[in-house]
Chain A
Amino acid sequence: MKVSRLLIVAALTASCSHEATSDRSDYKANEPAPAVSTTGEATTPTPAPPSAEIRAAKLATTPIADEAKASAVNPNAAVIQDFKTRVDAYMKLRKEAVKGAPPLKETKDPAKIKAAQDAMQTQIRAANVNAKHGDVFTPEIIATFRRLLYPELKGDDGHDARAIIKDDAPTNVPFKVNAKYPEGAPVPTVPANLLVNLPTLPEPLQFRIIEKHLILVDEDADVIVDYALNIIK
Chain B
Amino acid sequence: MGNENEKLFYQDLLDTCLKVGELMIEGGSEMYRVEDTMIRIAKSAGETDPRVFIVPTGIFMSLDRGNYCQTIQIHERNINLELVDRINSLSRSFANQELTLKQVRQEVNKIAQGGYPTFPLWLQVLSAAIASATLMVMFMDNYDWIDFPAAAVVGALGFISFYYFKHYTKIKFLSELVAAIVMTAVAVGLVHIFPQMIIDKILTGAIMPLVPGLALTNALRDLFKGDLLSGMVKICEAGITAFALGGGVGIVLKFLGA
A and B associate in one complex: no
| Interface residue ranges, A against B (CB under 8 Å) | none
